[in-house]
Structure 1
């Protein structure tokens, strides 16, 4: 009996620890050396473990460049394991596109490699209130085990960056947040747009400046990419990936501006029907309600300041 118990103990010690949450990540090859790891078109829930975001990676001759690390420590670990099924090359660099938690909370899984972002993104994450992480823990549950919010350890500047035969261009923009990093791989023509682009999923706006966001989309178009990886939604050529986001932002600006000029309150705006081209987007009604809460007060203040 003692021998059997001892053998069982050894077996348990030899077994890998159980996953807090199995994200069932998969890599879609979208271009030469280039892989998209798609997220779900949903809000944070316990059922999805926070996996609502696209991450991606490029296998270069000098190692792997990862774009965003995902929504939790366990996601980051499973992303690393997924990359290892594609290539045995080491991870060379992780680039964080902006300071929203679903894009960087996996950074802890990459403690042994450079994790970098724009300086303003690092500062924004450093100043992130702890209540935001607490809220995600409550929404997502066990999948967040061990996750902490830490800023990327290194800064990147806009401009060219060549790694392993891939010529990347780092573009510093803003509008979705105060600092949004877009990454163009000129070798393949793939543009990693972060949350400056959404496709088939309603854009999020907690820190948005609509005018600056629209200006950022103009900059992205001028890069003439062949394929765009949005922060949320499928990879697609530029017209689809940028037009939908631009149209939605322009509609928001016109709708909220007109409502403020007419003196409508938030409840009246929320009762408005969504245009057919936006009503079918994922989480459309929920995100519209959040946007009214985020942005409408500024439209009201603008009208009052003009009086």
Structure 2
């Protein structure tokens, strides 16, 4: 394995709940996974991407020396589920039914393709989620979790989990915190969802990429997507990319543009970075 930069780890407290965020370096798209800790249990969100960070995340989780009561997979992008088979094969996983179905059809071919790209950092097998995360309410160690499935936003289906008693929304890839924002061809639905989320009553948003976000960052994501959608109607790939870089020079992970720009313009360019 090559020498890799260390992840970034941060923690905040919300009453009886402690939230720990484990973020990979920018070279791996600042992928963020989370641990929600109470006195008697852990809830884990996603599993990281390549093996070194997945294994480091599992060690981080195990250091709390508490049972993992739930592990939620937010959606079917490889940079969030690869680490489940690498580091959490012994832990039951909950995911949306549409996510499980997509993985049944695409996971093995994705794993084989990424093996060509990332070699031994890619898992040797696929772990399928064993449980359907149904929309509704769940309680883990006294904390109320409200589970929703959002469709046709940043991807076909993803979990959004709200902790109404703590002002926390687990948004994952609906929110990119401090990084460039993944753009799809029809972003209007995502923009509308983000504007609703920003006024939902939560003031802590767990992002799929980058550190914990606030409602202002959620609105910044909506503005980014609205700007991108406006440019998309008029630009070619190069000018579109340059417009985003010029408009948002402070945002990290320009590698994300290498992934979504070819898709937006139906390029045959080889994708990079775990999607």
With the shorter chain as reference, the TM-score category is: 0.7 to 0.9
Please report how far the alpha carbon of residue 40 of structure 1 lies from its aligned counterpart in structure 2 after TM superposition. Answer: 1.8
Q: Give the match's secondary structure for 1:281.
A: coil
Q: Give the match's secondary structure for 1:128.
A: helix
Structure 1 counterpart of 2:260, from 291, 296, 299: 291
Structure 1 runs not aligned, ≥5 long:
1-18, 45-51, 260-264, 298-307
Asked if the contact 1:176/1:209 (under 8 Å) is kept, the reply is no
Q: What residue in structure 1 maps to residue 270 of structure 2?
A: none
TM-score (norm 1): 0.75
Q: Give the match's secondary structure for 1:142.
A: helix
The reply on whether 1:140 has 2:118 as its aligned counterpart is yes
Change (3 A) 1:65 1:267: closer
The reply on whether 1:38 has 2:23 as its aligned counterpart is yes
- Structure number with higher helix proportion: 1
Q: What residue in structure 1 maps to residue 272 of structure 2?
A: none
Q: What residue in structure 2 maps to residue 253 of structure 1?
A: 229
Please report how far the alpha carbon of residue 223 of structure 1 lies from its aligned counterpart in structure 2 after TM superposition. Answer: 2.5
| Alpha-carbon distance between aligned partners in 2 of 1:123 and 1:24, rounded to the nearest angstrom | 34
Q: What residue in structure 2 maps to residue 195 of structure 1?
A: 173
Q: Per-residue CA shift, 1:57-86, capped at 9, x if unaligned?
A: 11234421000011145544432221222x
Alignment of 1:198-277 (within 5 A): 198-205=176-183, 209-240=186-217, 242-259=218-235, 265-266=236-237, 269-270=240-241, 272-274=242-244, 276-277=246-247
Q: Per-residue CA shift, 1:33-61, capped at 9, x if unaligned?
A: 211112222347xxxxxxx3100011234
TM superposition outliers: structure 1 runs of 4+ over 6 Å: 19-23
| Alpha-carbon distance between aligned partners in 2 of 1:283 and 1:77, rounded to the nearest angstrom | 23
TM-score (norm 2): 0.83
Q: What residue in structure 2 maps to residue 165 of structure 1?
A: 142
Q: Per-residue CA shift, 1:110-154, capped at 9, x if unaligned?
A: 23332011111111111116443234333333322x443333111
- Structure number with higher strand proportion: 2
Change (3 A) 1:195 1:244: same
Structure 2 runs not aligned, ≥5 long:
267-275
Aligned length: 262
Question: Computing the radius of gyration over CA atoms, which structure comes out larger, 1 or 2?
Answer: 1
Of stretches 188-197 and 125-134 in structure 1, the one that deviates more from structure 2 is 125-134
Q: What residue in structure 1 maps to residue 10 of structure 2?
A: 28
Q: Give the match's secondary structure for 2:112.
A: helix
Asked if the contact 1:202/1:282 (under 8 Å) is kept, the reply is yes
Structure 2 counterpart of 1:152, from 129, 149, 167: 129
